[in-house]
Structure 1
Amino acid sequence: MSIQLLQTKEDFTKVLESEPVFFLLKHSLTCPISAAAESEFERFSQHSEIPCYELFVQEARELSNQVASDFEVRHQSPQAILFNEQQVAWHDSHGAVTNERLNKAVQE
């Protein structure tokens, strides 16, 4: 399944209201750690039935801040967040965003 890019609060709200379970990756376009996490996220998305979305922090700062504020998850990038029924079910950041950890989060 391909990763879809979210750019606005409206984009995110549509996903939140239509997808019971999904992953969101906050990705920094200038950080090598974030590039590694994005690669792991892409690997995960290729074998997962769970919809995967990402936002580029530099291009969607307002959305990134809104997610942090609305769901009380301190902003980090890279950061993967698993949503389940419009709630944060799991999140982690930096080097902990791996294909293995994403798979484990889904199983918990």
Structure 2
Amino acid sequence: MTLQTQIEAALYEVIDPELGVNIMDLGLIYGIQIDDDNNVTITMTLTTPGCPMHDTISNGVKYRVGQMDGIGEIDVNIVWEPAWSPANMSDHAKDMLGIG
């Protein structure tokens, strides 16, 4: 399993506390970059710009990825473009939230 795949798997364990769904199924992760020193940059968004869980989710990402062996520095970039929409969610997330 590649480091990229391991990071993706770990991010399924980070839950949006307001929705009770993991950030991967919500479609909040836009990109994961890993450099030659295993420093990780995660580009993500939140469901709304005023999300009160901004720090909780960002810190959850850093904490969970930081638990992995061999990881260097972790940077989480929160972006607002492209804007998140429910269309980003997996079918599993939609089922969990009772959406179509």
Q: TM-score, normalised by structure 2?
A: 0.32
Q: Greater RCO between the two (CA within 8 Å, min separation 6)?
A: 1
More helix per residue: 1 or 2?
Answer: 1
Q: Which has the larger radius of gyration?
A: 2
Q: TM-score, normalised by structure 1?
A: 0.31
